[in-house]
A and B are shown apart, each in its own frame.
Chain A
């Protein structure tokens, strides 16, 4: 009887040290950050905390004061996630279905960027996109596509480009796992049942999606009037047309019905997981906007780190960080509700 009982305690004993660590250095710090976010004072003057004060002003004031940083974070994070998806899904699909004996090598190459420092990768983009770098040497000096005073560094394009690069592996790996799991026999069955090219449906869906994606990019990157003029109606229409034509062609000729009816729906949990795993670090980043952007492209992360580390204004910084955290927690719980916890943490037990 007592043996039975002690056996039942085993899992809890195994987990105790690790969970205690997370309690002490993850849960309690976040609770304390919540407390700070309602406090007043600075590191030098000392802090007055609840229950003596409940400074809601930290939240309401900072949301309006830093609204441009919040919108930068959301817009850049969303654009980077869309771009990661557009690049990452075909890549993950190719590795999972057509990888063959190259599969492991390709997966290794996808994570290879993680073997260099995050900062150095960003510095590399600063070199590549810089005013004396190779991209502008071709686009500006050789092809004369942009004016002589055009620069990429400092623009949202550079920041979004950097974020897209940094978090692409976060998109590809979960997508790969879920595409790999798709039962090939179902695809065979679909083909036996005359699933062919997507055709008319693909033309329409591809055109709509393509137009949407390109307009989002055009408006998102032009947002704040960085690149040339504001998002002019003509430019938006042009972007929509280009996107619609490209998307329509891809949808009609390159995508098969078996993919749309079988593979893609079965990989949807991976799409959600990958999008969340890409979006979260992207909206919290402050390295890319700092190194590749300008004062106008600063994101919430820049404000948080500046307030915490340079100005020691803990209450405002904590409120901002907590808003970021709260938004993400809501996203995770919604996600867990929709898809269950096992999908999040990898595979079925």
Chain B
């Protein structure tokens, strides 16, 4: 009995290692995928009532008229516009901070690291609520009322949404770009300087191409956070709708399958975008690896 015990249990352990963990992983990933599948399936539904909650029959109607709802197309364009503008500025501002944090030793560096983390750790509802209070203050309270010309921040609208999106994306950009900069070899820059390049040339010819994949990744992250954002946007949008805010408004009265169609389309475009970016990045990585030799 003695020798078989450990062997049997070791075999059981190996079995668990091999199969149980694998099964668990498949199950967990499946769990993550289920709501996405439901969204895709229900985009082909023709609901009986006003709400697309129960499967009735297969139909391509919603796909044929994806924007055929009052306000939906405006909301969608607003979402795209906000995401593009917000991503552009957040990526620039965040990348500059990331460069400073990784490449320089300076007083206040640790404090800045912590400070950058705070917005990410703040619940979105607090980010949104605090922006709403400051925007309302510019119209109602001193000293803001006299410093800030009326009409810029209040009534709320497109500018306040974009301001909010830039704000909550900066930290995510910093963290993403930082991770990339930390991985690269500073000797490459020193070599460029030794060969007579000034700091500006070194940055554009050496540093920037090396951190570009990180910047692209950060921009993609910011874009996806921005186009999907509901909570902060709901507080800062006033009467303007983005796609998620429009869905939130409509769900009180009805839920057309068009919502699922647009959700599916955004999902497919995002997945395609990431696939292309990954492909380009792996190619870009290879050329960069070869070039310095």
* Residues in A lying within 8 Å of B, measured CB to CB: 8, 10-12, 14-15, 17-19, 21-22, 25-26, 28-30, 32-33, 36, 43, 46-47, 49, 87, 90-91, 93-95, 98, 104, 106, 108-110, 112-121, 123-128, 130, 132-133, 165, 168-169, 196-197, 253-254, 256, 276-277, 280-281, 283-287, 291, 301, 304-305, 308-309, 314, 317-318, 321-322, 324-325, 328-329, 332, 336, 341-342, 344-349
**Residues of B contacting A98 with CB < 8 Å?**
17, 21-22, 25
**Residues of A contacting B54 with CB < 8 Å?**
127, 130, 132-133
In the complex, A283→B125 CA distance in Å?
A: 10
Cβ-neighbour of A346 out of B31, B103, B175 (below 8 A)? B175
Cβ-neighbour of B24 out of A94, A113, A127, A336 (below 8 A)? A94
Which B residue's beta carbon lies closest to that of A124?
Answer: B35
In the complex, A345→B16 CA distance in Å?
A: 35
Question: B130 touching A113 by the CB < 8 A rule?
Answer: no
Which residues between 130 and 152 of chain B lie within 8 Å of chain A, taking CB atoms? 130-134, 136-137, 140-141
What are 23 A-B pairs at a CB distance below 8 A? A11-B101, A15-B101, A29-B131, A29-B133, A91-B28, A104-B278, A115-B266, A116-B264, A119-B244, A124-B38, A127-B42, A132-B54, A280-B122, A285-B125, A308-B235, A309-B234, A314-B136, A321-B130, A325-B126, A336-B114, A341-B114, A345-B113, A346-B178
**Residues of B contacting A347 with CB < 8 Å?**
178-179, 182
Is B204's beta carbon under 8 Å from chain A? no
Known pairs A91-B28, A108-B274, A112-B36; A344 contacts B115 (CB<8 A): no
Question: A32 touching B35 by the CB < 8 A rule?
Answer: no
- Shortest distance between the CB of B145 and any CB in chain A (Å): 11
**Residues of B contacting A114 with CB < 8 Å?**
224-225, 228
Question: B179 touching A118 by the CB < 8 A rule?
Answer: no
Cβ-neighbour of A117 out of B93, B121, B228 (below 8 A)? B228
The number of residues on chain B lying at the interface, defined by a beta carbon within 8 Å of a beta carbon of chain A, is: 98
* Residues in B lying within 8 Å of A, measured CB to CB: 6, 9-10, 12-13, 16-17, 20-22, 24-25, 28-29, 31-36, 38-39, 42, 53-54, 92-94, 96-97, 99-104, 106, 109-110, 112-119, 121-127, 129-134, 136-137, 140-141, 163-164, 166-167, 170, 174-175, 178-179, 182, 224-225, 228-231, 234-235, 243-244, 247-248, 251, 255, 259-260, 263-264, 266-267, 270-271, 274, 278
**Residues of B contacting A281 with CB < 8 Å?**
123-124
Candidate in B28, B101, B113, B264 with the most chain A CB atoms within 10 angstroms: B28
In the complex, A276→B121 CA distance in Å?
A: 8
Cβ-neighbour of B25 out of A106, A280, A345 (below 8 A)? A106
**Residues of A contacting B179 with CB < 8 Å?**
346-347
- Shortest distance between the CB of B187 and any CB in chain A (Å): 17
A36-B133, A308-B235 given; 12 more Cβ-contact pairs under 8 Å: A11-B104, A18-B170, A22-B115, A33-B126, A43-B140, A123-B247, A124-B35, A124-B38, A197-B10, A318-B133, A344-B114, A348-B182
In the complex, A91→B163 CA distance in Å?
A: 37
Question: A349 touching B102 by the CB < 8 A rule?
Answer: yes
- Shortest distance between the CB of B12 and any CB in chain A (Å): 6
Known pairs A8-B106, A18-B93, A21-B170; A284 contacts B123 (CB<8 A): yes
- Shortest distance between the CB of B25 and any CB in chain A (Å): 4
**Residues of B contacting A349 with CB < 8 Å?**
101-102, 178, 182
**Residues of A contacting B133 with CB < 8 Å?**
29, 32-33, 36, 314, 318
Known pairs A110-B32, A115-B271, A314-B136; A309 contacts B235 (CB<8 A): yes
**Residues of A contacting B17 with CB < 8 Å?**
98
- Shortest distance between the CB of B50 and any CB in chain A (Å): 14
**Residues of A contacting B131 with CB < 8 Å?**
25, 29
Which B residue's beta carbon lies closest to that of A18?
Answer: B93
- Shortest distance between the CB of B281 and any CB in chain A (Å): 11
In the complex, A117→B228 CA distance in Å?
A: 5
- In the A-B complex, the 10 residue pairs with the smallest Cβ-Cβ separation, listed nearest first, are A284-B123, A124-B35, A18-B93, A29-B130, A11-B104, A11-B100, A115-B270, A29-B134, A14-B100, A120-B263
- Shortest distance between the CB of B268 and any CB in chain A (Å): 9
**Residues of A contacting B267 with CB < 8 Å?**
115-116
Which B residue's beta carbon lies closest to that of A177?
Answer: B179
**Residues of A contacting B38 with CB < 8 Å?**
124, 127-128
Question: A25 touching B96 by the CB < 8 A rule?
Answer: no
Question: B259 touching A345 by the CB < 8 A rule?
Answer: no
- Shortest distance between the CB of A20 and any CB in chain B (Å): 9
Cβ-neighbour of B97 out of A14, A109, A125 (below 8 A)? A14
Candidate in A106, A329, A346 with the most chain B CB atoms within 10 angstroms: A346
